[in-house]
């Protein structure tokens, strides 16, 4: 239960910190943080939580990460479903807090896209479904590849959180224009539930692609790994 509570809080922070920066600060008049700021915000949520709860739950914060770690031999199958449920609920809680903040603005007229992930006309740069699919599979593959490597027993200790956070930052720098960057089904679900309509209709891709990328990374890294870890 402690692990699940940690995953709930961690994913809440990822959504509130990352999506919150996109919704509240990215285009703020004159002082907006832009894509670079949003990318850093997502990376910082992972770095901060890695050192806060990494020793409790492993700090997955992402169903694709849990699945990739399982495929890589680092996570038990019996824990997958509870972790995924906690992550999704934490993401929804984070989005709920963000919604309460957004709707408290004077002259509020609507939440807009609410940093939801999308393709086609809902891609920030107008990228196709195929572009979105390729982007999410490849970016999640690299993300899990880095996670599996950085957390290996033979990797430099205490630096895993920093490497993983910087990797997520780079992923956002590359892919925000394509899909608004998911690589995380919990993050995509939380925003889609509030954005509704098109976001829910396109949500399937932001579950399927990250999970596929994570599975591929788990298989490849397990083959490359110098030793098997449980």
Q: How far apart are CA 119 and CA 75, in angstroms?
A: 32
- Residue 181 zone, left/alpha/beta (φ > 0; ψ -120 to 50; rest): left
CB-based contacts of 23, cutoff 8 Å, min separation 6: 98, 102, 111, 112, 114, 115
Tokens at 227, concatenated:
């030793």
DSSP state of 122: G
Contact 187, 62 (CB under 8 A): yes
CATH superfamily entry for domain 2-105+115-224: Glycerol uptake facilitator protein. (1.20.1080.10)
Q: How far apart are CA 31 and CA 53, in angstroms?
A: 32
Tokens at 167, concatenated:
């990797």
Specify the pTM: 0.93
pLDDT tens digit at each of 230 positions of the chain:
899 999 999 999 999 999 999 999 887 767 789 999 999 999 999 999 999 999 999 899 999 999 999 999 899 999 999 999 999 999 999 999 999 999 988 877 778 789 999 999 999 999 999 999 999 999 999 999 999 999 988 888 789 999 999 999 999 999 999 999 999 999 999 999 999 899 999 999 999 999 999 999 999 999 888 666 55
Tokens at 160, concatenated:
């895993």
Please report, for residues 16, 49, 149, 221, 222, the alpha-carbon distance to residue 226 in angstroms, rounded to integers and kept in the order given. Answer: 37, 28, 10, 9, 9
Q: How far apart are CA 138 and CA 48, in angstroms?
A: 25
């Amino acid at each position: 239960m402690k692990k699940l509570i940690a995953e709930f809080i961690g994913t809440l922070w990822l959504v509130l910190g990352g999506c919150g920066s996109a919704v509240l600060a990215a285009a703020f008049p004159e002082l907006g943080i832009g894509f670079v700021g949003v990318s850093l915000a997502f990376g910082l949520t992972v770095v901060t939580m890695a050192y806060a709860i990494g020793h409790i739950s492993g700090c997955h914060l992402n169903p694709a990460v849990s699945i990739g770690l399982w495929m890589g031999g680092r996570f038990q199958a019996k824990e997958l479903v509870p972790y995924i449920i906690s992550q999704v609920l934490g993401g929804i809680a984070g989005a709920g807090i963000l919604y309460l903040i957004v709707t408290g603005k004077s002259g509020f007229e609507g939440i807009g896209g609410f940093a939801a992930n999308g393709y086609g006309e809902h891609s920030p740069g107008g990228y196709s479904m195929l572009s979105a699919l390729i982007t999410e599979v490849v970016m999640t593959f690299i993300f899990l590849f880095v996670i599996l490597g950085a957390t290996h027993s033979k990797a430099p200790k205490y630096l895993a959180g920093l490497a993983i956070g910087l990797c997520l930052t780079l992923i956002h720098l590359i892919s925000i224009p394509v899909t608004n960057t998911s690589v995380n089904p919990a993050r995509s679900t939380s925003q889609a539930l509030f954005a509704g309509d098109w976001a829910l209709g396109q949500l399937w891709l932001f579950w399927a692609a990250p999970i596929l990328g994570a599975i591929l990374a788990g298989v490849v890294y397990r083959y490359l790994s110098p030793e098997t870890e449980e």
